[in-house]
């Protein structure tokens, strides 16, 4: 993750130790609770990572993340061995946030054409839904936390 806004920081706040979501998904035990569909998130994450690896197999950052995850445990290695490769698509993600509760968001990804390999990921909630209220709560919490 290269950059994020205040609400994204509030949604993903527990993972300040790593801006790499692959590391978070596979090495942070809290990810299995946070992502309500962890197995699906893990499969999709590995397939997207493999696509990136195929586009830049010599990239030292990708190679380092791959080596770390292969050494960390069998779950990543099993998914990696499947050789699934695909980009992100319009999808729904379900989160369980410790302050905002259950949140369902639609995720859409856009390629940044001037920076190959980079993507803009946008999450949004259905207007008027409980998840929209949860995002508003996260926005208020992040605004309160930033006040001097």
Q: Are 75 and 26 in contact (CB under 8 A)?
A: yes
Residue 1 counted as domain residue: no
Q: Are 117 and 55 in contact (CB under 8 A)?
A: yes
Residue 35 counted as domain residue: yes
Residue 43 counted as domain residue: yes
Residue 90 counted as domain residue: yes
pLDDT at 87: 84
State the pLDDT confidence band at 74, using cuts at 50, 70 and 90. very high
User: Domain residues for 40?
Assistant: 6-146
- CA 92 from centre of chain: 12
Residue 10 counted as domain residue: yes
CATH number at residue 25: 3.30.450.180
pTM: 0.86
pLDDT greater than 80 at residue 43: yes
Q: 86-129 pLDDT, tens per residue?
A: 888 788 999 999 889 999 999 998 888 888 778 889 999 999 99
Domains identified in the chain, total number: 1
Residue 20 counted as domain residue: yes
Residue 126 counted as domain residue: yes
């Amino acid at each position: 993750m290269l950059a994020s806004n205040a609400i994204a920081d509030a949604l993903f706040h527990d993972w300040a130790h790593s801006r790499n979501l692959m590391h978070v998904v596979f090495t942070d035990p809290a990810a299995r609770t946070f992502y309500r569909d962890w197995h699906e998130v893990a499969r999709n994450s590995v397939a997207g990572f493999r696509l990136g690896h195929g586009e830049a197999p010599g990239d030292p950052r990708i190679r380092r993340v791959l080596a770390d995850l292969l050494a960390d445990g069998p779950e990543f290695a099993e998914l990696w061995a499947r050789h699934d490769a695909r980009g992100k698509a319009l999808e729904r993600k379900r989160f369980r946030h410790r302050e905002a509760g259950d949140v369902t968001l639609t995720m859409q990804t856009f390629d940044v054409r001037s920076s190959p390999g980079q993507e803009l990921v946008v999450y949004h909630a259905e207007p008027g839904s409980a998840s929209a209220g949860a995002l508003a709560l996260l926005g208020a919490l992040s605004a309160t936390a930033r006040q001097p």
